Chains A and B, each alone.
Chain A
Amino acid sequence: MKPPKFDYFAPDSVERALALIAEHGDHARFLAGGQSLVPMMNFRVATPSALIDLNGIADLRGIRIDDEHRLHIGAMTRTREIEMDAQIARANPLLHAAVPNIAHMQIRNRGTIGGSLAHADPAAELPAIVLVCGAAIQIVGPGGRRSVGAMDFFEGIFETALRDGEIISEIVFPTWPAARSWAFDEISRREGDFAMVGIAAWFDLDASGKISASGLAAIGAGDTPLRLSSGEQILIGRSPGADVFARAAEAAATDLQPASDIHASAEYRREVGEVLVQRCLQTAWERSS
Chain B
Amino acid sequence: MTADRRLTLHVNGITHSCEVEPRMTLADCLREKLDLTGTHLGCEHGVCGACTVIVDGAAVRSCLMFAVQARDSMITTVEGLAASDTLSDLQQAFHDHFALQCGFCTPGFLTTAEAFLSENPSPTRGEVQSAISGNICRCTGYVPIIDAIVDTAKRRLESGK
Chain A interface residues toward B at CB < 8 A = 1-10, 34-35, 38-39, 42-43, 50-51, 53, 55, 80, 84, 100, 103-107, 109-110, 190-192
Contact A8 B60 (CB under 8 A): no
> Hey, which chain B residues are within 8 Å of A5, CB to CB?
2, 21-23
Determine which residue in B23, B49, B64, B131 has the highest number of CB atoms from chain A within 10 A of its CB, and name it. Answer: B64
Query: In the bound complex, do residue B133 and residue A8 qualify as a contact, i.e. CB atoms below 8 Å apart?
Result: no
Question: What is the distance, in angstroms, from A248's C-beta to the closest C-beta of chain B?
Answer: 31
Closest chain B residue to A34, Cβ basis: B64
Digitize B12-24: 1 where CB-to-A-CB distance is under 8 Å, 0 elsewhere: 0000000001110
**Residue of chain B at shortest CB distance from A109:** B58
Task: Return the chain B residue nearest A104 by Cβ.
Answer: B134
Given contacts A8-B68, A53-B69, A192-B134, contact A109 B22 (CB under 8 A): no
* Closest 9 A/B residue pairs (Cβ): A104-B134, A8-B22, A39-B45, A1-B44, A7-B1, A109-B58, A38-B64, A5-B2, A3-B23
When distances are taken between beta carbons in the complex, the residues of chain A under 8 Å from B1 are 7-9, 50
A95, B138: Cα distance in complex, Å: 34
Cβ-defined contact, A106 with B134, below 8 A: yes
6 A/B residue pairs, CB under 8 Å, sorted by A: A2-B25, A4-B23, A80-B58, A104-B135, A105-B130, A106-B112
> Size band of the B side of the interface?
20 to 34
Q: A2-B23, A105-B59, A109-B60 are in contact. Are A35 and B131 (CB under 8 A)?
A: no
What residues of chain B lie closer than 8 Å to A2, measured between beta carbons?
23, 25, 28, 44
- Which residues of chain B in 8-58 are interfacial with respect to chain A, using CB atoms and an 8 Å cutoff? 21-23, 25, 28, 44-46, 49, 52, 58
**Residue in B22, B59, B69 whose CB lies within 8 Å of A106:** B59
CB distance from B57 to the nearest CB of A (A): 9
Which chain B residues (96-142) contact chain A, with CB distance < 8 Å? Answer: 112, 116, 119, 130-131, 133-135
Contact of B63 with A by CB under 8 A = yes
With the chains together, A104 CA to B68 CA distance in Å?
24
Counting chain B CB atoms within 10 Å of each CB, the highest count among A2, A105, A107, A191 belongs to A105
Set of chain B residues within 8 Å of A104, measured between Cβ atoms: 49, 133-135
- Decide: A43 and B45 in contact? CB cutoff 8 A: yes
A84 to B23, CA, bound (A): 31
Q: Is the CB of A103 within 8 A of B134?
A: yes
Q: Which residues of A contact B45 (CB under 8 A)?
A: 1, 39, 42-43
A55 to B135, CA, bound (A): 25
Measured CB to CB, the closest approach of chain A to B67, in angstroms, equals 10
Bound-state Cα–Cα, A286 to B48, Å? 38
Q: Tell me if B134 and A8 are in contact (CB < 8 A).
A: no
Q: A107 touching B66 by the CB < 8 A rule? A: no
**A106–B49 contact, CB under 8 A?**
yes
CB closest chain-B residue, reference A1: B44
Write out the residue numbers on chain B whose beta carbons fall within 8 Å of the beta carbon of A7: 1-2, 22
Contact with A along B77-112 (1 / 0, CB 8 A): 000000000000000000000000000000000001
Contact B2 A42 (CB under 8 A): no
How far, in Å, is A272 (CB) from chain B's closest CB?
Answer: 22
CA distance A4 to B45 in the complex (A): 14
Whether, in the assembled complex, B65 has its beta carbon less than 8 Å from a beta carbon of chain A, the answer is yes
- Assuming A6-B2, A55-B69, is B64 touching A35 (CB within 8 A)? yes
Beyond A1-B45, A34-B65, A38-B46, whether A110 also contacts B22 by CB under 8 A is no
Roughly how many angstroms separate A43 CA and B59 CA in the complex, as a whole number?
23
Task: Compute how far the CA of A103 lies from the CA of B21 in the bound complex, rounded to whole angstroms.
Answer: 29
Query: Complex formed: what's the CA distance from A236 to B116 in Å?
Result: 43
Contact A106 B68 (CB under 8 A): no
Q: Indicate which residue in A50, A103, A110 contacts B65 across the interface (CB closer than 8 Å).
A: A110
Complex CA distance for A100 and B133, rounded to whole angstroms: 12
Query: Once bound together, how far apart are the Cα atoms of A1 and B25, in whole Å?
Result: 11
CB distance from B146 to the nearest CB of A (A): 14
A80 and B119 alpha carbons, distance in the complex (Å): 11
- Chain B, residue nearest A191 (CB): B133
Complex: A204 Cα to B72 Cα, angstroms: 47
Specify the chain A residue showing the minimal Cβ separation from B129. A191
CB distance from A76 to the nearest CB of B (A): 13
On chain A, the residues within 8 Å of B60 by CB distance are: 106, 109-110
